Amino acid sequence: MKILKSIKWRLQIWYGLILVVVLMGLGITAYKLERDKVFRHTDNELQHRLNVVLQTLRRGGPQRRPPLRPNGFDQSPGPPEEDFGRDRPPRRPEDFHLQPRDEMLFDAAATNGFYYVVTGRDGKEIARSTNAPAQAMYAEVRVSNGGMRINRFTAFPRLPDDRLKYNGDRFNYDKFPSNGVPVGQPMPPYLLGTFREVIIELPSSERILVGRNMVTELAELRLIAFQLAGVSLVILGFGLAGGWWLVGRSLRPIQSIGAAAVKISAGDLSHRINVAEAESELGQLAAVLNSTFARLEAAFAQQKQFASDAAHELRTPVSVILTQTQTALNRERDAEGYKQTVEACQRAAQRMRKLIESLLALARFDAGQEVLKRLRFDFSKTVSDCAELVQPLADERGVKIFAELPPLEITGDPERLAQVVTNLLTNAIQFNNPGGEVRVKLELQGGLAVLTVTDTGQGIAPEDLSRVFERFYRADESRTGGGNAGLGLSICKAVVEAHGGTIEVASEANAGTTFTVWLSLG
User: What tens digit of pLDDT does each residue of 7-25 get?
Assistant: 788 888 888 999 999 999 9
For residue 196, the cross-strand partners are 191, 212
Q: Residue 27: CA atoms inside 13 Å, Cβ hemisphere, count? A: 22
Q: How far is CA 133 from the centre of its chain?
A: 63
Which pLDDT score is estimated for 381?
93
Which pLDDT score is estimated for 276?
65
247/245 Cα distance (integer angstroms): 6
Residue 172 Cα distances to 106, 185, 311, angstroms: 32, 14, 100
Q: Residue 149: CA atoms inside 13 Å, Cβ hemisphere, count? A: 7
Antiparallel, parallel or unpaired: β 207-213 and 437-445: unpaired
Q: Vertex 322, ends 318 and 325: CA angle to 5°?
A: 135
Distant-in-sequence, close-in-space partners of 350: CB < 8 Å, separation ≥ 6: none
Which of helix, strand or coil describes residue 187? coil
Question: Looking at the predicted structure, is the pLDDT value of residue 180 above 70?
Answer: no
Report DSSP state, residue 64.
Answer: -
Instruction: Let me know if 516 is exposed, middle or buried by CB neighbors in 10 A (0-12, 13-18, 19+).
Output: middle
Q: Among 400, 497, 415, which Cα is nearest to 456's?
A: 400
Q: How confident is the model at residue 479 (pLDDT cuts 50, 70, 90)?
A: very low
**In terms of pLDDT, which residue wins out, 168 or 247?**
247
Question: Looking at the predicted structure, is the pLDDT value of residue 152 above 60?
Answer: no
Distant-in-sequence, close-in-space partners of 482: CB < 8 Å, separation ≥ 6: 430
Residue 379 Cα distances to 348, 375, 406, 419, 469, angstroms: 34, 11, 9, 13, 23
Average pLDDT, the chain: 77
Which pLDDT score is estimated for 388?
92
Which pLDDT score is estimated for 94?
65
Question: Looking at the predicted structure, is the pLDDT value of residue 63 above 60?
Answer: no
Which pLDDT score is estimated for 101?
83
Lowest mean pLDDT segment, chosen from 267-281, 314-328, 477-491? 477-491
Q: How confident is the model at residue 313 (pLDDT cuts 50, 70, 90)?
A: low
pLDDT digits (tens, 9 = 90+) for 221-272: 999 999 999 999 999 999 999 888 888 877 777 777 778 778 877 777 777 7
Question: Looking at the predicted structure, is the pLDDT value of residue 120 above 60?
Answer: yes
Angle between the N-to-C axes of helices 215-265 and 7-59, in degrees from 0 to 180, rounded to the nearest 10: 170
Q: How far is CA 457 from the centre of its chain?
A: 59
Which pLDDT score is estimated for 65?
40
| Percent of residues in the chain assigned helix, strand, coil, to nearest 5 | 50, 20, 30
300-367: CATH number: 1.10.287.130
61/95 Cα distance (integer angstroms): 7
For residues 434-463, average pLDDT: 90
Q: Among 462, 470, 401, 389, which Cα is nearest to 435's?
A: 401
Q: Vertex 326, ends 325 and 329: CA angle to 5°?
A: 85
Q: How confident is the model at residue 4 (pLDDT cuts 50, 70, 90)?
A: low
Q: What are phi and psi of 190, to 5 degrees?
A: -135, 155
Which pLDDT score is estimated for 2?
63
Question: Looking at the predicted structure, is the pLDDT value of residue 474 above 60?
Answer: yes
Question: Looking at the predicted structure, is the pLDDT value of residue 78 above 60?
Answer: no
127/103 Cα distance (integer angstroms): 12
Which pLDDT score is estimated for 43?
93
Which pLDDT score is estimated for 344?
84
DSSP H/E element including 24: helix 7-59
Q: Residue 118: CA atoms inside 13 Å, Cβ hemisphere, count? A: 26
Q: How confident is the model at residue 409 (pLDDT cuts 50, 70, 90)?
A: very high
C-alpha dihedral, 228 to 229 to 232 to 238, nearest 10°: -130
Which pLDDT score is estimated for 515?
94
For residues 290-297, average pLDDT: 81
Q: How confident is the model at residue 1 (pLDDT cuts 50, 70, 90)?
A: low
Radius of gyration of the chain, Cα coordinates, nearest whole angstrom: 53
Q: Among 517, 495, 468, which Cα is nearest to 366's?
A: 495
Which pLDDT score is estimated for 476?
54
276/271 Cα distance (integer angstroms): 16
pTM of full prediction above 0.85: no
134/154 Cα distance (integer angstroms): 10
Q: Residue 516: CA atoms inside 13 Å, Cβ hemisphere, count? A: 11
Any idea where the domains of the chain sit in the sequence? 10-74+89-219, 300-367, 375-520
Report DSSP state, residue 186.
Answer: P
Question: Looking at the predicted structure, is the pLDDT value of residue 121 above 70?
Answer: yes
375-520: CATH number: 3.30.565.10
Which pLDDT score is estimated for 68?
45
Report DSSP state, residue 91.
Answer: P
Three-state SS sequence of 404-437: ECCCCEEEECHHHHHHHHHHHHHHHHHCCCCCCE
% of the chain at pLDDT higher than 90: 25
